[in-house]
A and B are shown apart, each in its own frame.
Chain A
Amino acid sequence: MAHNESAPKAGHDAHGAAVASGGGHAPAKDDPHAHAHPTWKQYKWVALILTLITVVEVWIYYTPFTQSKLFVPTLLIMSAVKFAIVVLFYMHLKYDARLFRALFTGPLIIAVVTLISLMFLFGHLAIRAGS
């Protein structure tokens, strides 16, 4: 037999949400966690956008823009955008349960705040009032 007869007649979709199965895989209509995945075309566009941002990042590295005060913030913003795109679309956090978002963003916020705090503590970042 393929399934334990005493087990509940349900399975899980790839998002980890319980779905009515009975051998099938379609999410239950009343399942609050059931969402559609992005399509192949969406995945293709996401990959294209990620590639373009990476190309721009590397191109900027070889331009005189590196001397600008905006160089580091620009790179950080582009990196954050790439990070968010992968997490939202490839890791499906945009479509997934809120608990997963909390499990990821909570530690991520702690990590980023700790990193920034350490930069201030060791003098790599400073706030100069009045300058």
Chain B
Amino acid sequence: MSASPALDHVHAGAHGHHYTTTGLDSRKIAIWAFIGSECMLFASLISTYLIYKGRSVVGPFPHESCAPPACATALKPILNIPVTSASTFVLLMSSLAMVLALAAVENRNLPKLTTGDRILGSSKLWLWMTCILGATFLAFQSFEFTSFVHEGLSIRTNLFGSSFFTLTGFHGAHVTAGVIWLGTLLAIDYKRGLGPADAINVDIAALYWHFVDVVWIAIFTLIYLIK
């Protein structure tokens, strides 16, 4: 029994009215359908980038140096692969933290006998970790965008700038939404604790987070590594 009648209402609503004839939770069906539609959104953005690839008239360019008269001054390739590799690693690790957060919520009622069990069973720890890693990825992206602007590449400079900032900006906005979503889960965890009954809600957030991760896997290869 929870302390708040309002919370009781939320609990009842969360567990009693989500059946479908498939036997599956309608919220989970909805998030997968949403993820499917997001696949098409990002495919259109990636397609746009690839179509415009190599068609910029003026620099800076992603993988090629730029010399006058194409550029006012000599410019190096603008993509910073070491920094982006680090941010990719950070996002991959955030996915690991997210699955551990979900496992901790699902197994909350299991006894925690060892220190390792207590660490793995702490949903707060893993949600915090996921949030921090997500925020770190956003910090890397902010650094990258800022350095690009300082080097003379903005969304208006050339076709590469327009398609690059649109694609990675949309992805960054999705990561930001994910961090906010995880922050709300963390707030609920501190307020009343997340238990097995909340696993479906955490799982839905986790699916969104992993999707953001797989989109970045595609972006990292197609935009950053393929010259």
Interface residues of A (CB under 8 A from B): 1-4, 6-8, 11-18, 21, 25, 31-33, 37-38, 40, 43-44, 46-47, 50-51, 54, 57-58, 60-61, 66, 71-72, 75-76, 78-79, 82-83, 86-87, 90-92, 97, 99-100, 103-104, 106-108, 110-112, 114-115, 118-119, 122, 124
Contact = CB atoms under 8 A, between A and B. Distances in A.
Contact of A115 (B1, B43, B92, B96): B43
Say what secondary structure dominates the interface of chain B: helix
A83 B217 contact: yes
A2 B192 CA distance: 13
A17 B24 contact: yes
Nearest to A97: B24
Given A47-B96, A112-B43, A91 B211 contact: yes
B100 to A, nearest CB: 7
Given A3-B12, A100-B32, A107 B24 contact: no
Interface stretch (B34-42, B151-159, B182-190): B34-42
For this complex, into which size category does the number of interface residues on chain B fall? 35 or more
A112 B50 CA distance: 13
Say what secondary structure dominates the interface of chain A: helix
25 contacts: A1-B8, A2-B1, A7-B12, A12-B25, A17-B23, A18-B19, A18-B24, A18-B25, A25-B109, A25-B197, A47-B92, A51-B92, A57-B221, A58-B225, A97-B22, A99-B22, A99-B32, A100-B29, A103-B35, A103-B36, A108-B36, A111-B39, A111-B43, A118-B51, A124-B51
